[in-house]
């Protein structure tokens, strides 16, 4: 830290500013507050007009073509009668026409709602009750057909992965899709395939640009944070908040990690603000080319990185782990400039190993970061001058960007000093407007301009942020005291023979706290040592927290399961697992299975 005297409170000291230019804070807040997102992006597209905007399955889409298509879709929506402030629902992955539609809706003053892909039928009905137009990816039609087929939806635009593909590949993929029966396209006048919808542009030749209006809804993304009851939270952002994020990144010098013409991999769906901002808005703003491929499978991501050689990648710790697990032999990674671990982070040991692999392969490094949908993406990130020093048992997610103020608070709303754990709060011009049609939930999350993240964190004297986990990841002991399950998992992960672990509660009865550990062995562990190690883990947990019982283990191969929707560790799937568990009995590992009784409690089968 510099010679500046610290008060002890991060939100006042802002120690992270030492890593930025002297005027970074002022630059970050010198933001145009009278423009739409499309106004700003259109200017940048023309500024870098010779740089391709998108590469999609081998097809190169120029910035001029991109601009023309945005105006085309603006006329399409106008011909369909879309009005200012109207909400248009979208369900599916990112594809070129979805990119055009996003900006077209912004241009005419309407608002896209990128629906959560794992949304329940009940939540889908509630979240789209004000929509009359929907857009859906054809291969996901079965997930929404019951709702989108209702009469209240006047038009449904059907997008296909082949819409913007080059001709030879389009023919092959269309054939294979039809043969495999992956899609059933509905019949009727209300359903418009993208090529037919584009023809409607000819019906409208009036003005398409709508004047800027303060605090207008610009986009709705879906928060990945957990809420009691699993409530879907549509996060409403404005033009001002989106543009603020662009300026924060520039003022923080993050654009200097890459150069104009570099390639950014976009394989995330647009449901989260992170993918919309970091992998879509920001590349277009900075003159980079987006490599767009909506496939998110483990093998798909590996092939995208190895074959397409993107300079910029942002994905979750689980996705990176799967990638590095597949990596064999010598590889050239000289193209790696800004590879980032976000979403759920990664363990220190894995992160250090990945950094060495990239460095030895000629690449720059891999960075960690942290974002919030309620802050329209990035909050903290590592930089070339502010990098993880591994001074705590968990890795840092970097420092706040210029223009952002953070602090750690207790349950009374009092800020805590450095190196104390509490709830992370965030304040800046990029904070969200509110949750869509959820004023009570908004009031609980947005307090006096601050966002309450629901994440347990701490901040050190240099401004580095450490995220321990979700504050809801707790269990209550019979005494009434609450403990964090990730703290117990971290104790297990301290063992050199454990590669990864997650601890979950198994509700066997109301008078005891029973836990199970989902673990991955280190590759060097032999079968003969496993009973001893499991017994040792149980003793470690008992010593750390005497009031809990670790009753079983579920052993997973290579890595913990992760969701193909969120690309994060799939705690929901693991919490529902009933078989595949083991216990140590008389020094031997024995299989174990749970069943659920009529009262909803789990019990061990045949016990």
Average pLDDT score over residue span 199-203: 98
CB 449 within 8 A of CB 393: no
Cα distances (angstroms) measured from residue 91 to each of 80, 135, 145, 267, 374: 19, 6, 11, 15, 20
pLDDT in tens, 541-552: 999 999 999 999
pLDDT at res. 227: 47
Average pLDDT score over residue span 328-343: 93
Q: Are strands 234-238 and 434-435 parallel, antiparallel or unpaired?
A: antiparallel
Question: What's the rounded Cα separation, in Å, for the pair 262 and 283?
Answer: 9
pLDDT at res. 219: 98
Please give the share of the chain, as a percent, with pLDDT higher than 90.
83
**Angle, helices 37-47/63-79, rounded to nearest 10 degrees:** 150
Instruction: Report helix, strand and coil shares of the chain as percent, to nearest 5.
Output: 35, 25, 40
Residue 224 pLDDT > 60, yes or no? yes
CB 308 within 8 A of CB 263: yes
Between residues 183 and 292, which one has the greater pLDDT? 292
Residue 324 pLDDT > 70, yes or no? yes
H helical segments located in 10-62: 10-13, 24-29, 37-47
pLDDT at res. 564: 84
H helical segments located in 166-251: 167-179, 194-199, 239-251
CB 44 within 8 A of CB 170: no
pLDDT at res. 553: 97
DSSP 351-402: HHHHHHHHHHTT---EEEEEEEGGGTEEEEE--SSS-----SSS-B--EEPT
Q: Which residues pair with 434 in a beta bridge?
A: 236
What is the average pLDDT value for the chain, to the nearest integer? 93
Reported confidence tier of residue 185, pLDDT bands at 50, 70, 90: confident
Reported confidence tier of residue 171, pLDDT bands at 50, 70, 90: confident
pLDDT in tens, 71-105: 999 999 999 999 999 999 999 999 999 999 999 99
Reported confidence tier of residue 177, pLDDT bands at 50, 70, 90: confident
Reported confidence tier of residue 390, pLDDT bands at 50, 70, 90: confident
Contacts within 8 Å (CB) and 24+ apart, 523-532: 523/499, 524/497, 525/497, 529/497, 530/589, 531/584, 531/587, 531/588, 531/589
pLDDT in tens, 429-468: 999 999 999 999 999 999 999 999 999 999 999 999 999 9
pLDDT at res. 225: 60
Report how far apart the first and last C-alpha atoms of the chain are (Å, whole number).
59
Cα distances (angstroms) measured from residue 455 to each of 31, 370, 426, 428, 465: 29, 11, 11, 18, 11
Q: Quick one: tokens of 433? A: 């407007």
Residue 514 pLDDT > 70, yes or no? yes
Question: What's the rounded Cα separation, in Å, for the pair 224 and 235?
Answer: 10
pLDDT at res. 230: 66
What is the reported pTM?
0.94
pLDDT at res. 473: 95
Residue 170 pLDDT > 60, yes or no? yes
pLDDT at res. 512: 75
Between residues 597 and 283, which one has the greater pLDDT? 283
pLDDT in tens, 363-372: 999 999 999 9
DSSP 8-state symbol, 39 = H
Residue 202 pLDDT > 50, yes or no? yes
pLDDT at res. 182: 65
State the Cα torsion 441-446-448-454 to the nearest 10°.
Answer: 110
Average pLDDT score over residue span 572-587: 93
DSSP 514-533: EEEEEEEE-TT--GGGHHHH
If you search the block for the tokens 């010598």, which residue do you land on?
A: 330
Count CB atoms within 10 A of the CB of residue 207.
9
Question: What's the rounded Cα separation, in Å, for the pair 301 and 297?
Answer: 6
């Amino acid at each position: 830290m510099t010679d500046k005297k610290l008060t002890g409170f991060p939100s006042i000291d802002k120690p992270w500013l030492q890593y930025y230019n002297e005027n970074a804070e002022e630059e970050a807040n010198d933001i145009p507050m009278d423009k739409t997102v499309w106004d700003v992006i259109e200017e940048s597209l023309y500024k870098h007009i010779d740089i391709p905007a998108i590469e999609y399955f081998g097809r190169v889409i120029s910035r001029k073509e991109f601009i023309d298509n945005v105006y085309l879709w603006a006329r399409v929506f106008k011909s369909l009668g879309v009005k200012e402030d109207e909400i248009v629902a979208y369900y599916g992955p990112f594809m070129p026409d979805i990119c055009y539609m996003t900006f077209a809706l912004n241009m005419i003053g309407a608002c896209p709602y990128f629906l959560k892909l794992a949304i329940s039928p009940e939540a889908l009905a509630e979240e789209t009750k004000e929509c009359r137009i929907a857009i859906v990816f054809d291969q996901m039609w079965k997930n929404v057909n019951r709702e989108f087929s209702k009469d209240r939806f006047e038009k449904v635009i059907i997008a296909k992965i082949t819409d913007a593909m080059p001709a030879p590949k389009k023919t092959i993929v269309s054939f294979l899709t039809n043969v495999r029966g992956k899609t059933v396209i509905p019949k009727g006048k209300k359903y418009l395939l993208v090529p037919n919808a584009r023809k409607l542009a000819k019906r409208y030749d009036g003005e398409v640009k709508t004047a800027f209006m303060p605090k207008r809804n610009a986009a709705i993304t879906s928060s990945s944070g957990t809420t009691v009851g699993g409530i879907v939270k549509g996060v409403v952002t404005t033009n001002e908040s989106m543009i603020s994020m662009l300026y924060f990144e520039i003022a923080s010098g993050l654009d200097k990690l890459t150069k104009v013409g570099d390639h950014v991999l976009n394989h995330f769906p647009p449901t989260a603000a992170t993918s919309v901002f970091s992998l879509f808005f920001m590349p277009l703003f900075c003159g980079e080319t987006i490599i767009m491929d909506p496939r998110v499978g483990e093998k798909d991501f590996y092939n995208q990185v190895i074959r397409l050689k993107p300079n910029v990648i942002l994905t979750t710790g689980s996705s990176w782990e799967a990638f590095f697990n597949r990596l064999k032999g010598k590889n050239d990674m000289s193209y790696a400039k800004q590879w980032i671990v976000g979403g759920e982070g990664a363990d220190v040991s894995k992160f250090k190993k990945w950094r060495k692999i990239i460095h030895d392969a000629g690449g720059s490094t891999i960075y960690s970061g942290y974002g919030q949908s309620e802050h329209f993406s990035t909050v903290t990130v590592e930089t070339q001058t502010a990098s993880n020093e591994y001074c705590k048992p968990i890795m840092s997610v970097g420092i706040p960007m210029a223009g952002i103020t953070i602090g750690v608070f207790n349950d009374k709303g009092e800020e805590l000093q450095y190196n104390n754990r509490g709830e992370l709060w965030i304040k800046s011009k990029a904070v969200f407007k509110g949750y869509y049609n959820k004023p009570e939930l908004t009031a609980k999350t947005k307090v006096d301009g601050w966002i309450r993240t629901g994440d347990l964190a701490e901040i050190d004297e240099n401004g580095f942020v450490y995220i321990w986990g979700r504050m809801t990841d707790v269990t209550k002991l019979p005494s009434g005291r609450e403990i964090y399950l990730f703290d117990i998992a971290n104790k297990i992960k301290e063992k050199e023979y454990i590669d990864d672990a997650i601890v979950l509660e198994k509700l066997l009865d109301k008078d005891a706290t029973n836990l199970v550990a989902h673990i991955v062995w280190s590759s060097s562990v032999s079968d003969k040592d496993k009973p001893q190690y499991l017994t040792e883990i149980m003793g470690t947990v008992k010593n750390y927290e005497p009031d809990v019982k670790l009753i079983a283990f579920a052993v997973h191969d290579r890595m913990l399961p992760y969701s193909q929707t969120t690309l994060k560790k799939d705690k929901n799937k693991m919490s529902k697992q009933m078989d595949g568990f083991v216990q140590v009995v008389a020094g031997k590992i024995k299989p174990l299975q749970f069943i659920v009784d009529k009262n909803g409690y789990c019990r061990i089968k045949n016990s």
